[in-house]
Amino acid sequence: MARHSLYPGFIRLFYTSNAHAHVQVLPVNPSLSGSVWIVQKVLGGSYTDWTEAVDAWAVVLKGVLNTADTIDRAELYTMSAPDADPLFRAVYNVGVSGTAVTATVAYEQMVWTLRTDNGGLLKIYVMEGVFPLNYRHPYGSAGSTALAIWDFIMSGAGFIFGRDLGVPIAPIFVTTKLNDQLRKKYVLNA
């Protein structure tokens, strides 16, 4: 399989933070059950309606977004092969607001890194969240909001796989930094 392929599918989660539109890509294992799209859970192999999975993720994700920020919608895509073009399958309006009262950090990139059982890495990116810049903590010393992201991904409710189709099993670090490309995009285009 191609190293950066999102096969067999992915969810694009659209959110607004610091008045900027962002897209989070979540590798998933989707399937069609009758007329309902479902995604596989990382533990146990059972499936859940993809919109219910997105709702559960939004409950956790909103903790790292300011109250003025929103999780807007999700789109589901499938791929028939690692090198195939993605096929749009469904859209879902999420409509969830952030819950953090901490100020948004402009142009920030937050990254949760996990090792999969196939040896690959899963990285979850959030742009313009609420953690301070240059925040770097391993699983054991991260704050409760950072832990909630990792714990969800590795829990029975988790549905996000590594790009190697591996199950996320070992959290490594959560880090933040200034994303210079993001800063240039919004500062230079203002």
pLDDT at 89: 98
C-alpha 168: how far from chain center: 13
Angstrom distance (rounded) from CA 168 to CA 96? 26
Q: What is the DSSP letter of 160?
A: P
Longest dimension (CA), the chain: 48
pLDDT tens digits, 136-171: 999 988 899 999 999 999 999 999 999 999 999 999
Angstrom distance (rounded) from CA 22 to CA 16? 6
Mean model confidence pLDDT for the chain: 94
Count CA atoms within 13 Å of residue 143 on its CB side. 9
